[in-house]
Amino acid sequence: MHDIIVIGGGPAGASAAILAAKAGKKTIVLDNDKGVTKRAWFENFYGIEEIGGPDLIAIGKKQAEKFGAGFFNETVVRIESGDEGVTVITEDNQYTAKEVIIASGMLTAVADESGIQKKPGTEPRVKTIIDVDADGKTNLPHVWAAGTVAGESMHGIITAGHGAKVAINVISELNGERYVDHDLLKG
């Protein structure tokens, strides 16, 4: 059983995976390569002068893999939550974890198939979002949502930050105490 499964490998999902894996959590990312980030151009991302979406996705994946996260090309069709954790069902496989973070951008079909509450979206072109509390929790136990699918602005830097925030909340819940991740300059 994995500690954390992240659904979606864009800025929110990759940020969540980086922090989860760096915290020592057994983490995988299920991504179907249908996100809008691969068509984006960024000149408003803190610390990066300019970058294309495909390069940003590749860097995020590389960072998460550096800490041990695994990436799988999968389309998630349903999530089932129980007392012992969560089962994520894809078109071809099943995965289990203690916690799941949905970071699927504008895509909410998995919520419909899983009994996860939704509400109207607030961003242009985002019709529905997953209903979450301030920490990112959904109505389904052990299932969280981050980024655009959770009602955050579609701007990549904002979804990346929200993915990180939700991951910190999930890690904290798994650890039973608030988790903090700070690095110091080397040398």
Say if 187 falls within a structural domain. Answer: no
Count structural domains, the chain. Answer: 1
Which pLDDT does position 123 carry in this prediction? 87
Which pLDDT does position 36 carry in this prediction? 87
> What residue type is assigned to position 6 of the chain?
V
Q: Per the structure block, which two tokens stand in for 164?
A: 């990180």
pLDDT at 124 over 90: no
Which pLDDT does position 54 carry in this prediction? 92
pLDDT per residue over 65-108, tens digit each? 999 999 999 999 999 998 889 999 999 999 999 999 999 999 99
Domain that holds residue 106: 2-175
Q: Residue 12 — very low, low, confident or very high, per pLDDT cuts 50/70/90?
A: very high
Say if 108 falls within a structural domain. Answer: yes
Q: Find tokens 């994520």 and name the residue.
A: 88
pTM, to two decimals: 0.96
Say if 9 falls within a structural domain. Answer: yes
Which pLDDT does position 151 carry in this prediction? 95
Say if 184 falls within a structural domain. Answer: no
Q: Per the structure block, which two tokens stand in for 96?
A: 């289990």
**Pairing, β 128-130 against β 118-120:** antiparallel
pLDDT at 179 over 90: yes
Say if 180 falls within a structural domain. Answer: no
**Residues of the chain above pLDDT 90, percent:** 83
Q: Find tokens 């992240």 and name the residue.
A: 6
**Residues of the chain above pLDDT 70, percent:** 100
CATH number for the domain that contains residue 123: 3.50.50.60
Say if 8 falls within a structural domain. Answer: yes
Q: How deeply is 111 buried, as exposed, middle or buried, from its count of CB atoms within 10 A (0-12, 13-18, 19+)?
A: buried
Say if 186 falls within a structural domain. Answer: no
More confident residue, 37 or 114: 114
Average pLDDT of span 47-54: 91
Say if 181 falls within a structural domain. Answer: no
